[in-house]
Amino acid sequence: MEYCLTTEALCKTYRQGKALHNVTMHVPKGAIYGFVGKNGAGKTTLIRLICGLQAPTAGGYTLYGVRNTDPSIHRVRRRMGAVVESPAIYLDLTAEDNLRLQARLLGLPSEEGIAPLLELVGLGETGRKKARNFSLGMRQRLGIAVALCGEPDFLVLDEPVNGLDPQGIIEMRELILKLNREYQITVLLSSHILDELARLATHYGFLDQGTLVREVSAQELEAACRRCVRLTVTDAKTLCRVLDGRGLEYRLAGEGEADVYEAHDLSQLILDLHQAGCQVTGLHQRDETLESYYMNLVGGGRDV
């Protein structure tokens, strides 16, 4: 498999501690690679490293076959566009002027591609409207347009749907899919909205406390996500005791609720609970989601 980005035991240490520890990841060419992790897990730190905004403490990375220590990495990095933390746009300029300025900074010979690029991101009709008067979604799409100047084939997006309303999220999703499918742009993106990420990603990397705990493809993830039964009961403590006694795997999903895996004999389980003084008030089958898979993988709270 051909990779546009790999990292090898990548580390970053700040005065307050380690932000990344021995991260080895692989972003296949043509993929939409979803980067999943809690706040503070190290997602933005890794993105800043591969974009050349910071230097690794140890380890390294390879971009299109070129090591980060190779002097030619700066030339290769021109194949990458990025929106890190917030869009790099000038609020007092129009969308067209933002792109015109970026084209000059990149030394592009002409401005012929500006109008098609604005059309691509859905900003072709903004005219003389200043970016400060754009909605958040429009600013995010303008930031992507700026990142696409120079026609990169690798796009890095840090929380591209953060703070967007439902319509903005849909528009961003459609744009990312179009860039990937029609323009063959590889995308590395992080997102807190895991259900949305599941609609996009072809590959995933799960980061926890600065360590990459697992990499999977979407197909592997789908195979790993198991069916379970969501039980709602009158006594959660009794439910846990009965489930532990039967050796069943489960996860508490809320007060009086638990997801039970591989419960082949539900009738006997319900009878056991009844005899123990615990009534089942709700039962339905469900598939494990990306969020529940992640929580089972790393544990802890829901701040992802």
DSSP 78: G
pLDDT per 10-residue tile (average), the chain, 304 residues: 95 92 96 90 92 95 96 93 89 95 86 90 93 94 94 94 89 95 96 86 94 93 80 92 91 86 85 93 82 78 50
Q: Residue 300's pLDDT is what? A: 56
3-223: CATH superfamily: P-loop containing nucleotide triphosphate hydrolases (3.40.50.300)
Q: Residue 212 and residue 22: Cα distance in Å, rounded? A: 8
Q: Residue 163's pLDDT is what? A: 85
User: Under 8 Å CB-to-CB from 299, ≥6 apart: which residues?
Assistant: none
Q: How far is CA 43 from CA 33, 84, 166, 212, 247, in A?
A: 13, 11, 24, 10, 36
Structure tokens at 92: 């007092």
Q: How far is CA 50 from CA 44, 58, 86, 162, 269, in A?
A: 10, 13, 17, 21, 51
In CATH terms, the fold of domain 225-298 is Alpha-Beta Plaits (3.30.70)
Indicate the helix (H) or strand (E) that contains 287.
strand 280-287
Phi, psi (deg, nearest 5) at residue 252: -70, 130
Going from N- to C-terminal start, the domains of the chain cover: 3-223, 225-298
